[in-house]
Chains A and B, each alone.
Chain A
């Protein structure tokens, strides 16, 4: 008798496990049924996702895009704060529906998750000391350039300036400090972060200059689980509508453009990520 019970329990377990995969076959339908789009965002990545010191709410460029997409889908956005390192596992394990978390495209990531069309393009730039003889990108050939260990802009520098010597540090502040103390001739970083570092110098902000042209471009997309074409189409459709209505431009101007301390120009439009 006992043996039969075990058999039945095992069969039930098998049915449960195999059935679990079927239950959320179409994520878009699930999202619409629940009425919420769960967005994974960062809380320490100003101006993309951070806590507003006054309202204690998570706000930013990424957050506004999440809310914009949710509105187009006709659901409510629910924010979930993730850590930078854990954001992709949190998505693949189904704890969030979509990532709006400073997610740059690269082929390794594209094997794990689906990227939406670009909602931001991050220019990777090199900054140099204003007083030095380095006035444009080409002047840095053969010079020392600081980076963050494992950063995606290292191959970009190696492509554009093959003779430059890369000196990599553990984190962004150390690499910036190396430039400020003239231990290196240049520092490569995303344009928005570079502006923040230079701003922090206060009265000495004019001692560091960003050189043109940019070293390379990193395309950011919203991240979704693989095998959900319905959701991907809906999200891309929402992004295209936001672009057409001018909402994308407004979000950019608010956080990074004329309305912010960054004073950056939007030099991209929403389009499929080249790659």
Chain B
């Protein structure tokens, strides 16, 4: 049974090059959307913690939309829907600068920023209110309190779910294949179509995603260990 498997066909000729380019595109997508998601996630969490009614409501609405609409729909909306609202010059510019990567990064980034902001919110809530009051009474501003007292502890507490969502973000970049971004899943499906080596092709993709996901989790565990609250 295993003797019938032929992995050499998957790595033969142009396919090896294709697999490498697919892996690179997956990493590019992960990096750009992760940066957007984390940056925006922190801003959203701080806005929500600020207590301004309008800001809190707006962030809650943003989170509700992005957590309750399938990511695939969000990607299709950004790629096929949003450009129709843009001026022609902007459309032309985006199309000339890898529009698939841009729109997929925005869609995945915005969606995951909702999750990251919620992670951070639960982290913030886990820091005792007394610490904030103490910091304010010592003369720190709201942002000073956030920066030096609350956020560092909140990030530590939020780290486990934060790492889970980073892995989720990495895996979800595979949805970008529907809009023609030539990332790993897209490339593997193409190779499968040309070689009919279905099991081998998807086995390569499975191993790739598994290895990177486990790597990310290992990296997360390392960071967690280094910055974990010491027992005082």
Residues of A within 8 A of B (CB): 108, 146, 149-150, 154, 167-170, 174, 177-178, 181-183
Contacts and interface: CB of A to CB of B under 8 A. Distances in A.
B84 interface: yes
Contact of B189 (A108, A149, A167, A181): A149
A181 B84 contact: yes
Interface in B178-226: 178-180, 182, 186, 189-190, 193, 196
Nearest to B193: A150
Contact of B193 (A149, A177, A178): A149
A181 B80 CA distance: 8
Contact of A170 (B84, B178, B182): B178
Interface in B56-107: 80, 83-84, 91-92, 95, 99-100
Contacts of B178: 169-170, 174
Contact of B180 (A108, A150, A154, A167): A167
A150 B196 CA distance: 11
Nearest to A185: B95
Contact of B95 (A154, A169, A177, A182): A182
A148 B99 CA distance: 18
A169 B180 contact: yes
A168 B180 contact: yes
A178 B180 CA distance: 10
Given A146-B180, A167-B180, A169-B178, A174 B80 contact: yes
Interface residues of B, number: 17
B79 to A, nearest CB: 8
Contacts of B180: 146, 167-169, 178, 183
B196 to A, nearest CB: 8
B83 A181 contact: yes
Interface of B: 80, 83-84, 91-92, 95, 99-100, 178-180, 182, 186, 189-190, 193, 196
A262 to B, nearest CB: 27
A168 B186 CA distance: 9
A186 B25 CA distance: 23
Given A108-B196, A169-B179, A170-B178, 19 more contacts: A149-B190, A150-B189, A154-B193, A167-B100, A168-B180, A168-B186, A168-B190, A169-B180, A174-B80, A174-B178, A178-B180, A181-B80, A181-B83, A181-B84, A182-B95, A183-B83, A183-B99, A183-B100, A183-B180
29 contacts: A108-B196, A146-B180, A149-B189, A149-B193, A150-B193, A154-B193, A167-B100, A167-B180, A167-B182, A168-B180, A168-B186, A169-B178, A169-B180, A174-B80, A174-B178, A174-B179, A177-B80, A178-B180, A181-B80, A181-B84, A181-B91, A181-B95, A182-B91, A182-B95, A183-B83, A183-B95, A183-B99, A183-B100, A183-B180
Contacts of B92: 182
Contacts of A146: 180
A164 to B, nearest CB: 14
Nearest to B92: A182
A108 B195 CA distance: 11
A201 to B, nearest CB: 14
Nearest to A175: B180
Nearest to B192: A150
Nearest to A170: B178
A181 B196 CA distance: 33
A150 B95 CA distance: 24
Contacts of B91: 181-182
Q: Which 4 A-B pairs have the closest CB atoms?
A: A167-B180, A150-B193, A170-B178, A183-B95
A177 B178 CA distance: 13
A265 to B, nearest CB: 32
B168 to A, nearest CB: 22
Contacts of A178: 180
A177 B189 CA distance: 22
Nearest to A155: B194
Contacts of A168: 180, 186, 190
Contacts of B179: 169, 174
